[in-house]
A and B are shown apart, each in its own frame.
Chain A
Amino acid sequence: MAKHETPLLDQLESGPWPSFVSDLKAQAERRAKNEEGIEFQIPSDTVDDLLGILELSFKHGRTHWKHGGIVGVFGYGGGVIGRYCDQPQAFPGVEHFHTMRVNQPAGKYYTTDYLRTLTKLWDFRGSGITNMHGATGDIILLGTTTPQIEEIFHTLTHDMGQDLGGSGSNLRTPADCLGQSRCEYSCYDTNAMVYFLTNEYQDELHRPAFPYKFKFKLDGCPNCCVASIARSDMSFIGTWRDDIRVDQDAVNKYVENDAAYPANAGAFRGSKDWGPFDLEKEVLGLCPTKCMKFENQKLSIDNANCTRCMHCINVMPRALKIGKETGCSILVGAKAPILDGAQMGSLLVPFVEVNPDNDYEAITEVIENVWDWWMEEGKNRERLGELIMRQGFQKLLEVTGIKAQPQHVQYPRTNPYIFWKEDEVEGGWERDVEEYRKHHQR
């Protein structure tokens, strides 16, 4: 029997989709029965009270959560997010309902043993509710009380070799796609780099350093499976600077509709009858830069005009491959729509080598220059993307010592004015009047 009546929440279960309400009810019941005989360290009816307070919020049309607080583990300024409810008498099970962020492994590879140990810990010392994974990439453990925090941290670090992730004005847990560990499109080893960045910037990850949050996300190729371009202040997207590798025989197999060469690696097979594969329409016609030609059974690509969108490679993976000289592009300033609307990342570094042998020197240099500027100039709670809008992309180029290049230009010639700085003009602003008057009368 449910502890609280929840008619408004029940209505949410009536749609065609799986409902979080059903999940929470199942979890509340599981804790009430406690067939495993767990010695719950926080109230066993936490999940009932969570449903109860949510129902009340719907009824009142306002939240009953307070925002923020002082909780954390010793020495860390992030990883734990305090949440308290403002109706503790009616819902004592959620008087404290803190969130813990656990640093997910690179590429999100787990053993089942690890997952069992983690969920067991969370049933014992928390609500048992998890979010795999949060928007930052972390494993999110939702709902525990203040006295449990250090205990959980101890078990995580000492028994599981597991660290917390970032929150607050910290570097957030870097997140990546699975990259070269599984994916043939990957232009660099995202797992290795995410591991390096996580270790290199431990201080920034665990102790607040910035005007606001800062996220790194790493995609092995422009398919952008972790959507780094939209979701991170600094996104590292794999790319290549030589040519797409073309296997002409395989291209012709696709053109001939050979069964062993299904378009899109067969991904849409069975969804509906898409008819025979049409290279002209499905590849050349959809190339965003129209830089491909197919003549006399030969596919040619004007690689200087290819933007590495991945479309042709995705459609014909057996015929086309990423180039051999691989590295990554760095984009900056993506953010959610809190101020000024959502923003995608802007291309800052078109190509940089990804070199673990020199500790990714070329990349950390860009990172640290950007941080120095943002820490100095960023207003409180101003994201990097907002600072770039406020002070200008040109300023960003200046502080990172990067020269303006065509790839930085999205729309040419929308602004007819050029404002030169004195040091960009030969001779500066000074002129020799005597010299001038030799040629021009007063």
Chain B
Amino acid sequence: MSDLLDNTEEATKAVVAFLEKKSKSKTKFYLKDFYKVFPDDKPRMIKKVVNKMVEREILEYWSSGSTTMYGLKGAGIQHSSEGEE
């Protein structure tokens, strides 16, 4: 695991900064979008850390039933169609 991903505080900061930067155009993201934030890490490790951020209520899930996306808690519409903010 990279130092960045291993450091809860720094990892959270990086994820929040990434989401805030994009928040004008989008509020919901695929897991894969976070791979860019942690280019040196394996998807399985990134998934663990990002899911922990949901548990800590920094992020929240949005699910269509078949696909799951992530967003900053409270950002965007709570229930809407995919691709519609």
Q: Which residues of A contact B (CB under 8 A)?
A: 66-70, 72, 74-75, 77-78, 81-84, 99, 167-170, 203, 207-213, 371-372, 375-376, 379-381
Pick the contact of A68: B43, B47, B64 (CB < 8 A).
Answer: B64
Residue of B47, B65, B78, B80 near A207 (CB, 8 A) is B47
Chain B residues with CB under 8 A of A72? 61, 63
Pair A78/B68 contact, Cβ less than 8 Å: yes
Chain A residues in 8 Å Cβ range of B36 = none
In the complex, per-residue mask of B40-82: 1 if CB is within 8 Å of any chain A CB, else 0: 0011100110010011000011111111100000000011111
Contact status B79-A82, CB under 8 Å: yes
Are A211 and B79 in contact, CB atoms less than 8 angstroms apart? Answer: no
Are A69 and B63 interface neighbours, CB within 8 A?
yes
List the B side residues contacting A99 at CB < 8 Å.
65
Query: Who on chain A is nearest to B61 by CB?
Result: A77
- The answer to whether the Cβ of B22 comes within 8 Å of any Cβ in the partner chain is no
Q: Does B31 lie at the interface of the complex (its beta carbon under 8 Å from any beta carbon of A)? A: yes
In the complex, B32 has a CB within 8 A of chain A: yes
List residues of chain B with CB within 8 A of the CB of A83.
65
Chain A CB within 10 Å — which of B60, B62, B68, B80 has the most?
B68
In contact, B44 and A209 (Cβ under 8 angstroms) = yes
CB contacts under 8 Å to A, within B4-48, are 30-32, 42-44, 47-48
Please list 15 pairs of residues, one from A and one from B, whose beta carbons are closer than 8 Å in the complex, sorted by A's number.
A66-B79, A67-B81, A68-B64, A68-B80, A68-B81, A75-B55, A77-B51, A78-B68, A168-B66, A168-B68, A203-B48, A208-B31, A209-B31, A372-B44, A375-B44
A170 touches B68 (CB 8 A): yes
Q: Which of A83, A208, A209 has the most CB of B within 10 A?
A: A208
Q: Which of chain A's residues have a CB closer than 8 A to the CB of B60?
A: 70
A77 & B80 in contact (Cβ 8 Å cutoff): no
Residues of B within 8 Å of A75, CB to CB, are 55
Contact A70 B51 (CB under 8 A): no
What is the CA–CA distance of A212 and B43 in the complex, to the nearest angstrom? 14
Report the minimum CB–CB distance from A176 to chain B (whole Å).
22
Q: Are B67 and A212 in contact (CB under 8 A)?
A: yes
Distance of A209 Cα from B48 Cα, bound (Å)? 8
Q: Which residues of A contact B42 (CB under 8 A)?
A: 372, 376
- Distance in angstroms from A409 CB to nearest chain B CB is 31
Residues of B close to A74: CB separation below 8 A: 55
A168 and B78: CB pair below 8 A?
Answer: no
Q: A312 to nearest B CB, angstroms?
A: 40
Give the residue of A78, A379, A381 whose beta carbon is less than 8 angstroms from that of B63.
Answer: A78
Q: State the CA gap A169–B54 with chains docked (Å).
A: 15
What is the CA–CA distance of A371 and B43 in the complex, to the nearest angstrom? 10
A-chain residues with CB within 8 Å of residue B66 when the two chains form the complex: 167-168, 212-213
Is there an interface contact between B31 and A69, defined as CB atoms closer than 8 Å? no
A68-B30 Cα distance, complex, nearest whole Å: 15
Chain B contacts for A168, CB-based, 8 A: 61, 63-68
Point out the residues of chain B lying under 8 angstroms from A167, CB to CB: 63, 65-66
Whether B67 and A371, one on each chain, are in contact in the complex, defined by CB atoms closer than 8 angstroms, is: no
A69 touches B67 (CB 8 A): no
Min distance, Cβ B12 to any Cβ of chain A, angstroms: 17
Q: Which of A68, A169, A170, A371 contacts B79 (CB 8 A)?
A: A68
B residues near A69, Cβ cutoff 8 Å:
62-63, 78-80
Chain A residues near B63: list those with CB within 8 A. Answer: 68-70, 72, 77-78, 81-82, 167-168
Minimum C-beta distance from B76 to chain A (A): 9
CA distance A70 to B64 in the complex (A): 9
B64 partner residues in chain A, CB cutoff 8 A = 67-68, 168
**CB proximity of B50 to chain A, nearest CB, Å:** 9
